[in-house]
Amino acid sequence: MGILCLGVTMIKTNDYILTTQNLSKSFKGFVAVNNVNLKILRGNIHALIGPNGAGKTTCFNLLTKFLDPSEGSIYFNNTDITKQKPAEIARRGIVRSFQISAVFPHLSVLENVRIALQSKQKTNFYFWRSEKTLKELNQKALELLHLVELETYHNQLAIELPYGRKRALEIATTLALEPELMLLDEPTQGMGHEDVDHVMKLIKSVSTGRTILMVEHNMKVVSGISDCITVLSRGSVLAEGDYQSISSNPEVMSAYMGTQATESK
Amino acid sequence: MRIAIYLILLIIGAVLPHFVYPVLLMKILCFAIFACAFNLLLGFSGLLSFGHAAFFGGAAYVSGYLIKNLELPTEVAIIGGVLSAALMGWLVGILAIRRQGIYFAMVTLALAQMVYFICLEAPITGGEDGMQGIPRGSFLGLSLKDDLTLYYVIFTGFILAFLIIYRTIHSPFGQVLKAIRENESRAISLGYDVPKYKLLAFVISAAFAGFAGILKMLVFNFATLTDVHWHMSGDVVLMTIFGGIGTILGPVVGSSIIITLEDQLTDSAGDMVTVIMGVIFVVCVLIFRKGIVGESVALYQRMLGRKNLPQVK
Ligand SMILES: Nc1ncnc2c1ncn2[C@@H]1O[C@H](COP(=O)(O)OP(=O)(O)OP(=O)(O)O)[C@@H](O)[C@H]1O
Ligand SMILES: [Mg+2]
């Protein structure tokens, strides 16, 4: 431990977009996240890995305040955000995706993205206004769909998309908010090889100008695009560093072995 | 197509009182408004309120009081009643919206029961007899004594309520409601203050439920405990599900059929009405999940082979 993660393109090495101090969460005595000190460098793609049940999703829930930490604090751009509500966190620029696919199933593909674009509008409580006023957002929504190659499906209901495309739609929806920090929970889970490659490239390409923290089991993705890796095991940070130091770390190996290897995913 | 349907319905609504007993039609219209208001919540925000009778009946009592005891004009009484329903909706909403699913329904039911007991015990509500003999007066210069005149006033009120609810569903606000209904956590993660949207939806729904109750009070000249009883909350759930949750016309169709049935059956079947309603409910839940309108739309789309198109425009 103690190895610094240097962003390849970074000039300053201590420009952290997100840090946590002694972040902990226990569920009725069971400690799911234990004293975690994260430091996410601005501009990095930072991977959070660990065996099943390590506390990765719980970490995400804490960072986005879907859960209240039992202890510790969270700083975003040096501001303490520990006490804020999830919607406030999102408006500040931290937008998350979910481990299980999270689209709006009975809205059209276009509407899925547009609802994200709409969240910055001031007209959201105007129940007397026609929804036709939202049409001005369609162009932008289609551009985002183009980015994830879903343009041709814009009229379909999201529920009718195959799994891989649903995940791509989620990324487009998340991107619509132009988040400074994107949290992706297993973006390639359950995808075929081609889709994985595609999403990996997509993540790489949207990472310019923003920071990405992702939970990922697929080691090909982790080694391919992440600048820095944090390994969680039983709620605590086990190791941190670049792919090489992590992959040769015997503690990490045994942690994965101990619970069963999940790399095969 | 859609416009044609609405035009035909409009014409039917305008000529029907010349063939059918207007009081029955007015009752149907009142319940149609009630069900539409309820559907805004259940069908478009995903919130199952089990206390809507409180707004329906509560507003009827308030308006009745304003007309009978304070002798205020009908217009003022209607506005006062609707505002009181909105206020009640706001209070109940604040307490209920942070609960999920069945807990939400339970909180609304509990609070509605409190309204029921207030209506039973308060000195001005007439206790078990209800508030009787509320005079019909006049509205914008039209005397409401004549059933046919009252019918057209209420028909206009129905159209107004329907249009506002329709617009609410098809507004930027309505889009957010649908997103919340579809996936609440995702809506939060996109930066929406979900409780605020739910609260506004609840208040609008309560206000129109109150409006429906007030109109019904004007038709029958009384406000009674039946209107605030939890049975009433159950009836509106049934009408909405029967017609089609989350469809635009479903609540109108559902309430029309159920009120007509009730009217026809009370004479012939007596107490069996409750059983028959129960059977309808079970059949709906088991077989026609989308309700009459929902199933018809689905059938129509299947026939056109366009089931890929979004249902809600
Ligand atoms: N709401 C909760 N109540 C109780 N226990 C919970 C809760 N959420 C998570 N846990 C427990 O906390 C531990 C960490 O769960 P978490 O979902 O964060 O793991 P994960 O690292 O995301 O695993 P996976 O790779 O399977 O997604 C698990 O043992 C889980 O059972
Ligand atoms: Mg997880």
Q: Which of A148, A177, A206 is a domain's end point?
A: A177
- Indicate whether A89 and A184 sit together in one domain: yes
Q: Which residue has the higher pLDDT, A7 or B19?
A: B19
- Of A118, A145, A177, the residue that ends a domain is A177
Question: Among A25, A33, A58, which residue has the most ligand 1 atoms within 8 Å of its CB, making it the best to mutate?
Answer: A58
The CB of A50 under 6 Å from ligand 1? The reply is yes
Domain assignment of residue A99, yes or no: no
In the reported structure, the alpha carbon of residue B168 is separated from the centroid of ligand 2 by a whole-number distance in angstroms of 38
How much of chain A, in percent, has pLDDT values that exceed 90? 60
Please state the atom number of ligand 1 nearest to the C-alpha of residue A56.
Answer: 21
Residue A219: domain span? 2-93+179-263
A235 lines ligand 1 (CB under 6 A): no
The reply to whether A29 and A57 lie within a common domain is: yes
Whether residues A109 and A155 fall in one domain: yes
- Rounded to the nearest angstrom, the distance between the alpha carbon of A261 and the centre of ligand 2 is 15
Amino acid, res. A73? S
The answer to whether residue A130 neighbours chain B at the CB level (below 8 Å) is yes
The domain tally of chain A equals 2
**Do B310 and A108 make contact, defined as CB atoms within 8 angstroms?**
yes
Q: How far apart are CA B19 and CA B70, in angstroms?
A: 37
Is residue A8, in this structure, part of any structural domain at all? yes
Same-domain check for residues A157 and A196: no
Find the Cα–Cα–Cα–Cα dihedral B38, B62, B97, B30, rounded to 10°: 0
Distance CA(B79)–CA(A254), nearest Å, equals 72
**pLDDT, tens digit, 9 for 90 and up, residues A172-186:** 999 999 999 999 999
Residue A98 lies in a domain: no
Q: Rounded mean pLDDT of A71-78?
A: 94
A93 at the B interface (CB within 8 A)? no
In CATH, what number is assigned to the domain containing residue A214? 3.40.50.300
Q: Examine the domain organization and report whether A143 and A194 are in the same domain.
A: no
Nearest residue on chain B to A123, alpha-carbon basis: B172
Q: How far apart are CA B188 and CA B97, in angstroms?
A: 14
Pick from A99-103, A202-206, A255-259, B201-205: least confident: A255-259
Domain boundary, last residue among A114, A143, A177: A177
Q: Are residues A78 and A195 in the same domain?
A: yes
Average pLDDT over residues A77-84: 93
pLDDT-based confidence at residue A254 (cuts at 50, 70, 90) = confident
- In angstroms, what is the span from residue A215 Cα to ligand 2's centroid? 8
Say whether both A186 and A173 belong to one domain. no
Shortest CB distance from A127 goes to which of B171, B191, B193?
B171
Mean pLDDT along residues A73-95: 94
Q: Strands, E, within A161-257: which ranges?
A: 181-185, 211-215, 228-233, 236-241
Q: Is residue A166 domain-resident?
A: yes
pLDDT digits (tens, 9 = 90+) for B85-121: 999 999 999 999 989 889 999 999 999 999 999 999 9
For residue A53, is pLDDT > 80?
A: yes
Residue A134 is assigned to a structural domain of this protein: yes
C-alpha–C-alpha distance, residues B155 and B302, integer Å:
34
Q: How far apart are CA B235 and CA B255, in angstroms?
A: 9
The mean pLDDT of chain A is: 88
Are residues A242 and A119 both part of a single domain?
no
Q: Is A233 in the pocket of ligand 1 (CB under 6 A)?
A: no
Q: Does A131 touch chain B (CB under 8 A)?
A: yes
User: Taking a C-beta distance cutoff of 8 angstroms, is the pair A75, B278 a contact?
Assistant: no
Nearest residue of chain B to residue A95 (CA atoms) = B189
User: Which residues of chain B fall short of a pLDDT of 50?
Assistant: 307, 311-313
Q: Same domain, yes or no, for A172 and A183? A: no
pLDDT, residue A14, reads 76
CA distance A163 to chain B (A): 17
* CB-count burial class (<10 Å; 0-12, 13-18, 19+) for A136: exposed
Query: Ligand 1: does its nearest atom lie under 6 Å from the Cβ of A58?
Result: yes
ipTM summary value:
0.87
| Cβ distance of A126 and B193 shorter than 8 Å | no
Contact B175 A126 (CB under 8 A): no
Rounded-to-integer distance, Cα B31 and Cα B20, Å: 17
Q: How confident is the model at residue A10 (pLDDT cuts 50, 70, 90)?
A: very low
Residues A6 and A72 in one domain: yes
Q: How does pLDDT run across A186-236, given as a tens digit for each residue?
A: 988 888 888 888 889 889 988 988 999 999 988 899 999 999 999 999 999
Q: What confidence score (pLDDT) does residue A19 get? A: 93
Residue A4: per-residue pLDDT:
57
Q: What is the DSSP letter of A231?
A: E
Ligand nearest to the CA of A36: 1
Ligand closest to A52 (CA) is 1
Residues A147 and A183 in one domain: no
Report which secondary-structure segment, H or E, holds B139: strand B138-139
Q: How far is the CA of A86 from the centre of ligand 2 (A)?
A: 18
Q: Is the pLDDT of residue A1 over 60?
A: no
State residue B13's pLDDT score: 92
In the numeric block, which tokens belong to residue A22? 């002694």
Indicate whether A260 pLDDT > 60. Answer: no
C-alpha–C-alpha distance, residues B80 and B65, integer Å: 10
A89 and A187 housed in the same domain:
yes
